[in-house]
Structure 1
């Protein structure tokens, strides 16, 4: 099918320059970023690359084509981004808040006597921690694929209600095997929440991701802080009330609201951007907003209605950056996991009583919250995630050195704050850097899941190494080594993508000198992933 003449609304071209794109398709006239379209172009080509074309007769029209990583260029776009921020980010923030509240509650329950009530030894308690990560590791890739098949509202709503229910059931269980099973089920259902990183990458451009991810992920240290406050109140006031032990009250108080939140998410969560653009939603009804939503998701180097592609898995497995990203994401994530499970125990060994420990556990999370926002804002503002990630890993390394080198209580608290601050910001910077640099939805999903496999394996290790109180030399030393490896991986990844960008710039310049266009330019990111000649990595 041929269209006589077109007005083409492009949000991202499949080439580095608009001139090359339309020379290759034999369009007769163009003018820089303001494109004047004459002549004919293959309509199937437009559909293949997800460009919104409007058929006109005898058209001479100009349409500015925004660069994919540019700032919002219109009032409509700024209003749309604000609306997305006010709808999507609170939903994800509260979801992560409940996920991390239910994930880490077993650490606070231990201080209230859970381990004694079950008659568990330390090895059995650590096995309960480990089973959560086993379930988490198993569940994530299926949920990442399910997100492209089922409505996100159903995926998130059902799984949130499920892990809230399983966490609540921990209050009623009376045996070690039952607690093991429930922790496994909490893990496998919480794995769905981790696909929020993929979901967010469909709604925002690469230079908008870090700060937005930080906004919803900040709920994780806040969950730790609130868990300390809730645990303090429960331990002080509710032991024995209505026949329940204080740790049982903790599971009930933190689990039941999660179930209610899951039901709300099922009703409120927007669908995928291309579905919203086509069908509308309760949040996005205006035609101009819906068209812009599609343009923006393509500008984020996404392809609408992308499906599972087996060949992208092989491309991902051959890319050394998948291994490197897994190492530099898993390192700070391991620190987050270890702190979620063991921070109250660490602080108690500083010499505080159990009640004071619950309060003092808030301090590192408060520092982590401030650092998280500052680092992610800087990464988006200066458009360089790699350098900020390296800085965060160095801060965590400094924290572990302090924890290993001193017995001073103030210094130990400072070291704990350093570790938490670098770790929470490092997880977000690492995750968004990874997502922003993976072309093709399946390859991106593989990259996220690969990093999560490393995270869960690391986290399983963490459940078995913090066994030498009061200084926990073994645990701190292992984490210090793994964070150092993550630092080296981040540096190596930065050097690799810098070289790839330079090579592609040189190749594009060579084609331009010869007056030719790279034949692979007409292919999409779903076909070539981030090996597309027009793809440039975020530094």
Structure 2
């Protein structure tokens, strides 16, 4: 077996996996692992059937919840061109401040929320926060002034904060690294899919203008808030807890899922007397909740560089999400046309997101796809910058397609970090930090497109291109660094440098384990 075949940098499968994968997890040799408390033979587990069960119960639910979350935070962009600023007498940058305040609370609370989630019951915590934010969303349709708009946007940020990092963490508890990428991609694609739904729903709901004495933009908030409320209440009946308490799995299936994820690391199989131990203890993850992992996350170079890479994708995503309807409207299209023309770019983005994530899983790499997508974003902003919005609006609209399609990189950059953090608690904290601070992207993007810059919006397009360029450079740096570290670790392993290190000590090292190889 080659070194690549032995390493964690394997070609991931989008489906349940090959027969070799089943053998890898279901083999009775699992029971021989010294630290395995179950000492259990999982050879009778039908992994493909179990995976289908998990997919059916988790992925559609999580995707719908995140779609509604992204829809509710972004529909203010649709409300803007339906007359919200005029009806609330907003002046200057007050609309931008209403966008910004959401992201301040949203970003700051995501990591603490994951710490709370790690110590509570997800099937109660997540649905409860969803019901509360749906009520806030509905009440936003009744605001009468700027202060009330600010207050509701702040509350929306507070109660939306737990959903995304929480579900991302839960997915990592149910799926191995061979299985998770496409599932997370489908979940994350709800962000782009929400853009398509947002335009369609806004165009339809805005026709209720005048019903009950409410303007059309108010009905956008009210109807979408009520929809979220219904789904939030329903989610109490089907939202899962942690695998150890999952009600739709049998006791043995629960133990198998926990075991499978525990040994789903990037670690190089250790050798004993020349024989590989495919489920050696040194490949297990430390699942303790030691506070040392908080410090480990804060001083981990890859967390901060991956955060910068996320900014390179997330800032453009929020820019087109919040201001896409405004940009299109400034090209001379009517309000309804602007809402509807915002749909096709997001349909393309959703398709690209799922397709590229599947290919990334198939080929076992992240960086090449990230680089391609960020280049698409740069090209899109360059098109918008170089075109005249009045004489060549089609070029600007084409740039919106390129930017939106490039946002398919969003799930890849989050999953890339998740794959390269070892230890369930460290991964939860690391993902919470990256996603939480990553959502400060909305703070930046909220101020890119100013009223006085219409219709060219040179400042906004230029800043978006700049962030994407930064993301491109950082992605290359991360990939080159991973290659260098992996090369050194492989060399040290071949030299037998760590042969005498006790497996228990290797586990505690997490992704600093010399047998752990970073995924590219």
Contact 1:332 1:483 in 2 (8 A): yes
Give the match for residue 251 of structure 1.
Answer: 221
Give the match for residue 119 of structure 1.
Answer: 89
Is residue 2:483 matched to residue 1:498? yes
Equivalences for 1:36-51 in 2 at 5 Å? 46-47=34-35, 50=36
Give the match for residue 275 of structure 2.
Answer: none
Give the match for residue 218 of structure 1.
Answer: 189
Deviation string, structure 1 residues 236-288 (Cα, Å, up to 9, x no partner): x2111122111111111100111121122222112112333xxxx1x112x44
Contact 1:210 1:376 in 2 (8 A): yes
- Change beyond 3 A, Cα 1:307–1:180: farther
Aligned-residue offset at 1:193: 1.2
Contact 1:521 1:533 in 2 (8 A): no
Equivalences for 1:75-224 in 2 at 5 Å? 76-195=46-165, 196-224=167-195
Which residue among 447, 450, 474 is the counterpart of 2:433?
450
Give the match for residue 328 of structure 1.
Answer: 309
Give the match for residue 205 of structure 2.
Answer: 234
Q: Give the 3-state SS of the residue equivalent to 1:262 in structure 2.
A: helix
Contact 1:148 1:307 in 2 (8 A): no
CA–CA separation in structure 2 for the residues paired with 1:75 and 1:154: 29
CA–CA separation in structure 2 for the residues paired with 1:421 and 1:101: 18
Is residue 2:393 matched to residue 1:409? yes
- Change beyond 3 A, Cα 1:238–1:33: closer
Query: Which 4+ stretches in 1 moved above 4 angstroms?
Result: 32-37, 302-305
Aligned-residue offset at 1:441: 2.9
CA–CA separation in structure 2 for the residues paired with 1:238 and 1:329: 38
Deviation string, structure 1 residues 144-193 (Cα, Å, up to 9, x no partner): 11221111111210111111111111012212112111101111111111
Give the match for residue 486 of structure 1.
Answer: 471
Is residue 2:405 matched to residue 1:421? yes
Whose radius of gyration is greater, 1 or 2? 1
- Change beyond 3 A, Cα 1:198–1:34: closer
Q: Give the 3-state SS of the residue equivalent to 2:495 in structure 1.
A: helix
CA–CA separation in structure 2 for the residues paired with 1:147 and 1:300: 22
CA–CA separation in structure 2 for the residues paired with 1:250 and 1:79: 41
Contact 1:201 1:300 in 2 (8 A): no
Structure 1, unpaired ranges of 5+ = 1-14, 18-31, 55-62, 65-72
- Change beyond 3 A, Cα 1:74–1:477: farther
CA–CA separation in structure 2 for the residues paired with 1:341 and 1:33: 44
Deviation string, structure 1 residues 376-399 (Cα, Å, up to 9, x no partner): 011000010121111111111111
TM-score by length of structure 1 reads 0.83
- Change beyond 3 A, Cα 1:191–1:36: closer
Which residue among 438, 444, 447 is the counterpart of 2:421?
438
Which residue among 503, 507, 510 is the counterpart of 1:521?
503
Structure 2, unpaired ranges of 5+ = 1-5, 9-23, 266-282
TM-score by length of structure 2 reads 0.86
Give RMSD over aligned pairs: 2.6
Contact 2:319 2:446 in 1 (8 A): yes
Which residue among 30, 38, 43 is the counterpart of 1:52?
38
Aligned-residue offset at 1:313: 2.2
Give the match for residue 6 of structure 1.
Answer: none
CA–CA separation in structure 1 for the residues paired with 2:26 and 2:150: 62
Contact 1:202 1:300 in 2 (8 A): no
CA–CA separation in structure 1 for the residues paired with 2:222 and 2:340: 20
Contact 1:221 1:369 in 2 (8 A): yes
Equivalences for 1:236-315 in 2 at 5 Å? 237-276=207-246, 281=247, 283-285=248-250, 287-301=251-265, 306-315=287-296
CA–CA separation in structure 1 for the residues paired with 2:129 and 2:349: 27
